[in-house]
Chains A and B, each alone.
Chain A
C-alpha cells in the first residue's frame, strides 16, 4: 500500500513556539492512524494543517498524490470531528448532518436519503428534530461523526473526539468509532494524548514530542520496542536504570548498573562497550518471588530486593521494591491465586528477575523526559 496522506518536511511556528518541526509522515489509505503525544507536542497543529486551517511555514502536504498545501479547507476532501464537536447550535440534528450536502447544492431527495442513512448509522433516527443543546455528550459526538462522514471524505480527522466524555461513555464510543471505521473504510487520522485510545484503535501510531515525531509504528512495536526513552516513558509504565555497556556477548551485551550485579540485555542497537545507556524494563516483564530463581539460565537477570509497597489492583498486584539504591516497580499478574499461598508483604526480602530479551536499552535521555516518568509513591504508614 502506498501513502495516501503525506506530510513532507512540514514545519509550523507560532511566535516563539516551534509547533511542528520538519515532520514527514505517510499515512496509508484506509488506515486508522493516530498522532499521540502530550499537550503542546504539535499533534493538533498537524491535524489543522491537514484540514487546511493552518498553512505550514515550509513543507508540503499531499493527498492521494495531489499537493493540497495551499488548498482552502472547503476545497479539501477532508473532514474534521472537533474536540468540542462544534455542532451548529441554531440547527437541528438533521440540519447539522445535512449541512455539507446543502452547501454542495445536492438535490433535495438525495440529501434526505443520505441524512436518513447517516441517522441510521448513528442510531439517532428519533432525535433528528432536536437541537444540539438537547443532546447528551455521546449523542453530540455521534452527530459530529455523521456530519463529517456524510461528505464522504478521503480522510476523516478526529481531534481528541472522546476527551469531553466520561470514562464509561468513552469506552463505548471507542468501540463505536472502531466499528464506523470498519464500515466506511476511509482513512482516519486521530489525534489524542490518551495512549489507551491510540493503542486500542490504531493500525499505526506516531508518537510526537516537541513538534517532532519520536517513533512511528504499530501499537505493539511502540510498546514493546520503544526507540527513545520519551516513547518508553510516555507509553505505559517502565523502570529506567542508568548504566553503561561493559562487554559484548554475541547478540547480547553486559550492562553495569551501579548497585546491581551486571545484567545482560539484548543488544538490538549495536551498542559498544563504553556507551552510556538507560535500561528500560516494563513492570509486567519483571517476576517476583520469595525464593531465588533457578539461576543456571544465563539469560535471566536476578536481583535481591526488599518490598517497600504493595498495591493490590484486583487482576494484578503492583510492588515497589528497593534493590540497593534503585526503586523498581513490578507488576504481577494473578494467573492463579491461592488463598493459602503466603503472600508477599511489605518489608519482605524477595528476588526480582527478568529475561535478557525483556529489557531494552535507550541511548539518549533528555532532561524533559523525566517529568513523564512515574515517580515512586511516597511510602505510607512506615513506623
Chain B
C-alpha cells in the first residue's frame, strides 16, 4: 500500500467487495423473509409453550387448580420421591424394550425390502405404510378387542394350553410393550430401509469373498453401513416412546403407568399444572440429554477427522 498508486489500484477490488456485501445483505434479507413464517410458527407454537412449561415448574400451585404467587423449588424436589423414580425407571425400561424390539424387527425387514425387486418392494413398502391410513386410536382399540379376555387370541392360546382362564393379556406391561412395538415399528423400518436401500451390497459380497460367513458379513459390514439409519430409528422410536400416554392409558394397567400418564393425571385429575410441568421438564431433559451427547460426539468425531487431501499418486 506504500507504493505509489497502491491506493488507486486497490480501489477496484474494494469496490467489488462492497458490492458483494451489499448483494449478500440483500440475499440475507430474502432468506429471512422466506423463513419468517416457519420461524414464527415454531416460536409461537413450540418455543413459547416449552418456555412456559419450564416457568410453571418453578411456580407453586394454588388449591383451586391455578398458579400460585412466587417461586418455589418444592415441586421439583417432590419428584425425587421413590414413587416417581419407579415410574421414571419403568418409562425408560418400556421405551428401551420397545426400541430394542422395533430395531430388531426393522433391520431384517429393511434388509429384505432393500434386496427385493422394484415391484415387490413397492408392494411391501405399501404394506408398511397402510396402517397410517387408519386412526391411531382405532388401531389401539382394535388391539384391545384382540387381546380382550373373550377375544380371539386369548381363546386360541387357551385352546393350545398356553393360557389359563385367569391369564390376562391386557392391562399389564407386556401388553403396553406389545402395542407400542406395533405402533412404532413403521417408524423404525422406514429409516433403516432408507439406509439399506443406499447400501452397496457389493460390500457384502466383498466380505464373503474375503472369508466372512453370511452372518459375519451382515454384522461387520452391513450393520456399520446402515448405522445412520439405525441411529435415526432408535431416536424416532425411543423419544416418542418416552412420552407415550395413550397406549399405556388404554391397554396398560396401574402396574404399567408411564410418565406420560402421570403428567395427564396431574393436569386432568389433580389440576396441578406446576407438578405436570415439572414432570414434563424432567422428560424433556431426559430426551435432550442423549440427543445432545450424540450430537457432541458426532461433532467431535468430525473434528478429529484429518483434512481430506486427495493426492494423486504421480
Chain A residues packing against B (C-beta within 8 Å): 51-53, 72-74, 78-80, 82, 84, 86-90, 99-100, 103-104, 130, 133-136, 138-139, 147-148, 151, 169, 172
- Complex Cα–Cα for A98 and B309 (A): 24
- Find residues 31-68 in chain B having any chain A CB closer than 8 Å to their own CB: none
| Complex A-B, nearest 8 residue pairs according to Cβ-Cβ distance, in ascending order | A86-B206, A100-B210, A73-B208, A90-B224, A103-B211, A86-B202, A80-B209, A74-B211
When the two chains form the complex, which single residue of B202, B203, B311 contacts A136, counting CB atoms closer than 8 Å? B311
Q: How far is the CB of A278 from chain B (nearest CB, A)?
A: 41
- Complex Cα–Cα for A130 and B310 (A): 11
Q: Specify which chain B residues have a CB less than 8 angstroms from the CB of A87 in the assembled complex.
A: 206
- Complex Cα–Cα for A274 and B111 (A): 63
Other than the given A53-B209, A80-B206, A86-B203, 19 more pairs (CB < 8 A) read A73-B205, A74-B208, A74-B212, A78-B209, A79-B209, A80-B205, A82-B206, A84-B200, A88-B203, A88-B221, A89-B203, A99-B212, A103-B210, A103-B220, A133-B308, A136-B311, A138-B312, A138-B313, A147-B210
Chain B residues packing against A (C-beta within 8 Å): 200, 202-203, 205-213, 216, 220-221, 224-225, 227, 306, 308-313
Q: Specify which chain B residues have a CB less than 8 angstroms from the CB of A148 in the assembled complex.
A: 209-210
A-B contact pairs, 23 of them (CB 8 A): A72-B208, A74-B210, A78-B209, A79-B209, A80-B206, A80-B209, A86-B203, A86-B205, A86-B206, A87-B206, A88-B207, A88-B224, A89-B203, A90-B224, A99-B212, A103-B210, A103-B216, A133-B308, A135-B310, A136-B310, A136-B311, A148-B209, A151-B210
Closest to B204 in A: A86
- Complex Cα–Cα for A252 and B220 (A): 65
- Complex Cα–Cα for A100 and B312 (A): 27
- The reply to whether B312 and A88 form a contact with Cβ atoms under 8 Å apart is no
- The reply to whether B207 and A99 form a contact with Cβ atoms under 8 Å apart is yes
Q: How far is the CB of A79 from chain B (nearest CB, A)?
A: 6
When the two chains form the complex, which single residue of B206, B211, B216, B308 contacts A88, counting CB atoms closer than 8 Å? B206
- The reply to whether B206 and A74 form a contact with Cβ atoms under 8 Å apart is no
Q: Specify which chain A residues have a CB less than 8 angstroms from the CB of B202 in the assembled complex.
A: 82, 84, 86
Closest to A139 in B: B313
